[in-house]
Amino acid sequence: MSLTTVELPKIRQLDLRPPMRQYDQDALDTLEFINSVRADLDMLPIKELPKGRPSASHDCVIARALTEDGYMASATGTGTAVVREDTVRMWQTPETVGRFISRFDEGAYPFLVDRGLR
């Protein structure tokens, strides 16, 4: 009896990661900053930035990423605040994250704008 080698067709693997190709370094730094704040708050990390509303510190990308489980957040180019009941926690917004906020407000990330909000 002889053995025959059969070559199986290659199966293409699906890439289920978020569309990082759209994220520049400022957006990646923002995601990293958000996840460090989430870790400080005992929240699980997120894999992609949520959509938000430009020029709205309480409803922007960063605020939405940090508003859950009774927390409410606000972010500006200089500081990020998270409030829960009567406790306020503050983080200094890193320079690259401040630049992301400015560029988001100017329309540089149209894929992150929630068009359903007015």
pLDDT tens digits for range 33-43: 999 999 999 99
Give the pLDDT band (50/70/90) at residue 49.
Answer: very high
pLDDT of residue 78: 93
Express each pLDDT in 60-101 by its tens digit.
999 999 999 899 999 999 999 999 998 999 999 999 999 999
DSSP string, the chain: ------PPPPPPPP--S--GGG--HHHHHHHHHHHHHHHHTTPPP-SSPPPB-TT-TTTSHHHHHH--TT-EEEE-SSEEEEEETTEEEEEEPPHHHHHHHHHHHTTS-GGGB-TT--
What type of residue sits at position 115?
A: R
pLDDT of residue 3: 63
